[in-house]
Amino acid sequence: MELVMTGTGSPLPSPDRAGPSQLVQVGGRSFLIDCGRGCLMRLAGAATGPAAIERLLLTHLHSDHVTDVNDLITTRWITGFPAVPLPVVGPVGTVSFIDDTLTMLGPDIGWRITHHDDLEAPPEVPVTETAGGLVFEDAEIRILAAPTDHRPVHPTIGYRIEAEGASVVLGGDTVPCPALDELCVGADVYVQTVIRDDLISQVPVARLNDVIDYHSTVVDAAQTAARAGVGTLVLNHCVPTPMPGTEADWIAIAAEHFDGEVLLPDDLDRIPVEPAG
């Protein structure tokens, strides 16, 4: 199993970091977690087309995590011969979000059906809403979800993907909470959105300071990783965006609270997810 960082950025646009998105690949199978700004461009960089996505897993419906969902739906549809459905899993509210997205795309869908004789029907996007528990399982892969705490954004969920004797947890945007701890127990890789409250608090802008109380700090993420006994902590969706050359500072803060490996990856970095030992 391999984790591909198809977007490590935050809501603030960056020339180097696309919006939040991760790709988990098992053999020839691909699962996309969130679909932020620039996701399809990063998928192209990872040599993975929209048609290859077996499932899209949404942690929550904040705009920065779903900006490119419409692009994924449209591109998958118009490049499919024939187009295949795009299964989506997400928290309660995802059905309405997808319905609204398809409504927004309605004129474009109509034009394309009118122009192309082989496009006879609109995109199929079946949605499964979950509050937690088993969301997918077959002989190779098992995917679990658990509620997280990103209030007032609610509900939000994290995912644990297990395959090939290993496991990766995608925590999404959340503060520490018991369900997140449980999801992370014994995980080989744990990916967590993080902020530096020590840096953000120095900026006298209330709207920016508001992000502190509903995201995990680097310390929070490290302590979650330590409690859960994970192997590798991946710092992701960092706010503020780390200045080049300062990545080691973020890692050092986490290392004060967690003895395992700590990574702060760039877009398109590939992280192996392998069983410990």
* Helix and strand element counts for the chain (H, E): 10, 14
The two three-digit tokens of residue 223, written as one number:
């302590």
Grouping H, G, I as helix, E, B as strand and the rest as coil, residue 129 is: strand
The pLDDT score that the predictor gives to residue 277 is 63
Global pTM exceeds 0.75: yes
**β-pairing, 88-90 with 53-57?**
parallel
**β-pairing, 21-26 with 29-33?**
antiparallel
Continuous segment of H or E residues that includes residue 110: helix 106-115
The DSSP 8-state label assigned to residue 51 in this structure reads: G
**Average per-residue pLDDT in the chain?**
94
Helix, strand, coil proportions of the chain in percent (round to 5)?
A: 30, 30, 40
The pLDDT score that the predictor gives to residue 214 is 76
Task: Check if 266 is active-site.
Answer: no
CB atoms within 10 A of CB 75: 16
Marked catalytic residue, from 64, 173, 197, 220 = 64
What's the whole-number mean pLDDT along residues 6-21?
93
Whether the ω angle into residue 152 lies within 30 degrees of 0, i.e. cis, is yes
The pLDDT score that the predictor gives to residue 201 is 77
Per-residue pLDDT for 74 more than 90? Answer: yes
Determine the residue type at 205. V
Per-residue pLDDT for 276 more than 90? Answer: no
The two three-digit tokens of residue 254, written as one number:
């986490």
Per-residue pLDDT for 164 more than 70? Answer: yes
Per-residue pLDDT for 31 more than 70? Answer: yes
Per-residue pLDDT for 94 more than 90? Answer: yes
Per-residue pLDDT for 210 more than 90? Answer: no
pLDDT grade, residue 120 (50/70/90)? confident
What's the whole-number mean pLDDT along residues 184-211?
84
Please state, in angstroms and rounded to a whole number, the distance separating the CA atoms of residues 83 and 193. 33
- Nearest CA to 237 out of 45, 40, 6, 2 is that of 6
What the chain holds in terms of domains, given with CATH numbers, is 2-272 (3.60.15.10)
The pLDDT score that the predictor gives to residue 208 is 67
